[in-house]
Each structure stands twice: as structure tokens, then as C-alpha cells.
Chain A
């Protein structure tokens, strides 16, 4: 019973992911769900970084893009097997994150935000300018569909179940990380770096770890994305997408895994239902970021918890 209760959230999440396609009116929405899974994956990693280590990345779209382009180039241009390409994509994201983290994370909180902002812009420039490698602004076409051990994921439904499974495993990993010694160290760093250091926590190493981990999440999402759409273009990996990701984290609630999932699913599917959203979406993201920080600093997850507490108190009183 104890074990069941502890893992109730994970089980319910698995059930919800598995049953979600049944609730959809038509197959177009499967694609939206797949995108939701990709975004939730990136946002979960970003949430580990922001919510637990108190660092902001404004260039996560770049890690997503680096992995997508790496697997695209390895499989379509170089003709390597797809799993090799995907591994290479994730490895490139992780390696670049590590390189970026070494100089910036030694320093005070705000440096990583600026460095990743610049990094995101530079990567965008490279995607656009290195036409021979990336196809330039018009994009990279002809990425093969995902094929593992002879099975090709041709139907969107199959791809959805794969993405959902990856997302579920990532959730599991995140929970293990948060509950581990490293997770506790990260929370200590968030509360007070000086105090954490005095307790003997290697701050730079822990921050670096979680930053690279978040880049790995983004990288996994990027490789899945490339082999799903079979086409990638630089505009999907720009500053705008980084801001979207940031808004998903903040709206969902920092330092909450379920908040990350909720924020990603909500903000990814919202434009599908509100078409007029397109022109003003950047204003809405800006407004959401400010409003959340002013009135709801722990996001949807925190809001839900507060409501649940009030209900409980009400039940007890009544």
C-alpha cells in the first residue's frame, strides 16, 4: 500500500498518457499530443535547472536544435544508422552544455542566463548561415522516419506511444534525481549558495550536472522531434521557442515535475484551440511570466496545492 501511494502519481500519469489518444476527436490531435510530449520533456529538464538549482537558461531551444540537426546530419547526410545519429545528437547537446557550463556556472546566478541567451542566438545564426551543413533558413529535408530494430514508426499513434513512454521514463528519472543526494544538494544551493558551500557541497559541480542533464532532456526531445517531422528548420529553435519553454516552466510551477508537465501540455495545446493567438502570443508569454511571478510564484502546481489545502481545511471545519 505504501509503495502504491508513493507512486500513485506516476501510475496515474502512465494511465493518463496511455488513455489520452482515446479522448481525441480525430488523428490530427495526435500530432499535438506528440508535440506536448516533446515540450514536456524539455520543460522537465529546464524545471530541474530552474526550480531546483535556481538557474535560468534562455537558450534551451538551442540544445533541442543542436540534437535535432546532429541526428539529421548523421542519418541523412552521412547515412549512419538512426540510433547512432540519435545518440550523437544527445551527446552533442550534453557536450556543448558542459563546455558552456564550465566558465559560467562558477559565477553568480545571472551569468548563465546571459550566456545561454547569447548562446541561443549564436546557434541560431549558425543554423541559418552554415547552409552547406544545415540547409540554411529553408530547412533540412529528408530525415528518415524513426526505425528501431527493424520496426518503423510509420503511424503517428505508434510515435505517440513511444514519445509518451520516453516522457514517462524521464519523469521517473527526474523523481529519482530530486530524491537523491544530488537533489537535496541542489535544493540547498537554491536556498543559499554560501550555506550549501559551508556544508561541503561542491556548488559548481552540482550546477554543471543539472545543466548538462537538462540539455540531455532537450537533446532527447530534439532527436525524437527530427525523426518525427523528418524536417527541421532554424525558426523552430530560436529565441521565441526558448521563451515559450521558459513560460511553460514558470506557468506550470518551478520545482514541480507535475507542474512542468501541466505547463507544457497546457501552453502547447492552447494555440491549437485559439487561432487568433498567433499575432499576440509573444505578448501573452511576457504577460504570463510577469503575472505568474507577481501573483502566483509557484505556478499552476502551487495554485493547485493551495486550493487542495483550502478544500481539506474546509472539509475539516465543515
Chain B
């Protein structure tokens, strides 16, 4: 019965890394602006789709991926500058509607331009599986885990060592105080959208060689990214990344041992169960409302 366990663990961690990156994107925007960005999954979709399209157009794979990530980050910045900032301070329900509008607009645009087909990207370094602990591991899985780890370290350094990172943290703590210290809250909001576009796109591009991509993968990835956020405690970047990995592994084991038809339901059941039992997440402390 447990023969498949290492296999499920590896594939769960691989997919979970992308959930983690999506969750980090959610966290980034939520911390800086208080917005839950429902278009987060579309960033992941855009990263994968753009990489595929650019690669098909003749760009070498690394260039295609870097361009795809850069374009998605730019899209993130444009969303903040073009839509979120002009709307200004408004009821949360309005912001939810706006980001949903953005998400279906992005999805619709990609569908119209590149169609409803499923696309693949070649793996970064061949597809001959490696044997690790009795599991056949695709080299791409190792790439995904390695790149996610590097990104986490880079983010940690960004927030602790650079002036922009510290400014973003200040916005997360208290926007008014940050503004009084001369931090441009608007600029930091734009940066957070760009950064979360960047994170999502990287996740999408590195996962595509394993799971394929199409115009509509964003909803599910966004949903699972959010579930990962809740799992780790909303607003906690470490929790988001860990939540993603835990969710990926749970899902993989669920699909392997219970039922693969209802695989996508696991994330949701985990989300609801956790909201019911411990709404602040596994790593979250008690929370109080600002009046």
C-alpha cells in the first residue's frame, strides 16, 4: 500500500511548490494593499502560456521563460497602475469584483489569441527519470524545487536587506505610518503587484513541462494558492510557502490513495475544514480587527 508513497511525495512537493509560489503572490499583494487578488492564478497561467508561445516563436527556452516572467510582472504593474490605483479606497466587495473582472479578462484574451488547446513546454534538462528512494523522479521536479528554494532565499534577502523590501514590509505593518516616513505607498503597491506577477509566472513556467497548460488553468491554481495561504495563515509568507507544499503533498496522496477523479476537491475540503477548525492557519497567531 505504501509502495507509491515516495513517488506521491515527490510529485506532491513539485506541484506544491507552484501552489506555494502562487500563495506567496497572494501574500505579497495582501500584505501591502489588503487586497485578495483573484487574478493571481491568471499570473501563473500567463507565465506558462507566454513561455510556450515565445518558445514556439523560436526563442531559446531560457529566454522565452525570462521574457514570459518579465511580461507577466509588467502586466501585474499595469493592473495596479491602470485599475486598482484609480479606483482608490473602496469597499472590499468592489475590489473582489474588480480583480475577478481582471482575471476573466486575462483568461478571455488568452483564449481568443491562442485558442483553447493544451500546450506543453520541453523540460529544462531532458526527461530521463532519476531513481531516488525508489521513486522515479523527473529532472524537472528537481528544477522546480531548486528554483522555488532560490526564490524563497532571494525574497528573504529582499525583505531583510534592501530598502524597497523594508519599505514594503513597512506598508504591510501600517500604511499611514509608512507614508509619513516618506514611503510612497502607491509605488509599493505597484511593486507588490509586479512582484506577485513575477512569482506567479515563474511558478507557471517551471511547472508547465510537467503538468501542461491552457488558458483556463488559472482558476484552479489560484484557488489552490489561496487554500495554501489559508493553510499557512493569511499574510504570513513563510506559512504561504509551507502551506503550498503541504497542500500539494496532501492532494497527491489523496489522488493516489483515495480517488483521482475528485483530486481537485481535496484542496477545497482542506480549506473548509481548516476555516472551520483554525481560521488563522497552521502558523498564524490570533488576529484582531482594526477599527
Contact = CB atoms under 8 A, between A and B. Distances in A.
A289 interface: yes
A213 B264 CA distance: 28
A58 B271 CA distance: 16
Contact of A283 (B109, B268, B272): B109
Nearest to A51: B93
B61 to A, nearest CB: 30
Nearest to A53: B93
A61 to B, nearest CB: 13
B15 interface: no
Specify which of B90, B108, B112, B291 lies most central, judged by the most chain A CB atoms within 10 Å of its CB: B108
A194 B93 contact: no
Contact of B261 (A50, A110, A129): A129
A109 B289 contact: no
Nearest to A192: B291
A114 B101 contact: no
- Per DSSP, are chain A's interface residues mostly helix, strand or loop, or mixed? helix
A121 B272 contact: no
Contacts of B36: 110, 113-114
B94 interface: yes
Contacts of B264: 121-122, 125
Contacts of A119: 268
Given A58-B100, A129-B261, A283-B105, A239 B219 contact: yes
B223 A117 contact: yes
Specify which of A111, A192, A254 lies most central, judged by the most chain B CB atoms within 10 Å of its CB: A111
A102 interface: yes
Contacts of A115: 271-272, 275
Interface string B100-122: 11111111110110000000000
21 contacts: A103-B279, A113-B96, A113-B100, A115-B271, A115-B272, A115-B275, A121-B220, A121-B223, A121-B264, A122-B264, A190-B91, A192-B291, A283-B108, A285-B101, A286-B104, A286-B107, A288-B101, A289-B100, A293-B87, A293-B97, A294-B98
Given A107-B279, A286-B102, 19 more contacts: A56-B100, A100-B272, A103-B275, A103-B279, A107-B275, A110-B92, A111-B275, A114-B36, A119-B268, A121-B220, A125-B264, A125-B265, A246-B97, A250-B97, A280-B108, A283-B104, A283-B105, A288-B101, A293-B94
Interface of B: 36, 38, 83, 86-87, 90-94, 96-98, 100-109, 111-112, 219-220, 223, 226-227, 230, 261-262, 264-265, 267-268, 271-272, 275-276, 279, 289, 291
7 tightest A-B CB contacts, nearest first:
A289-B101, A286-B105, A103-B276, A286-B104, A283-B108, A290-B101, A282-B108
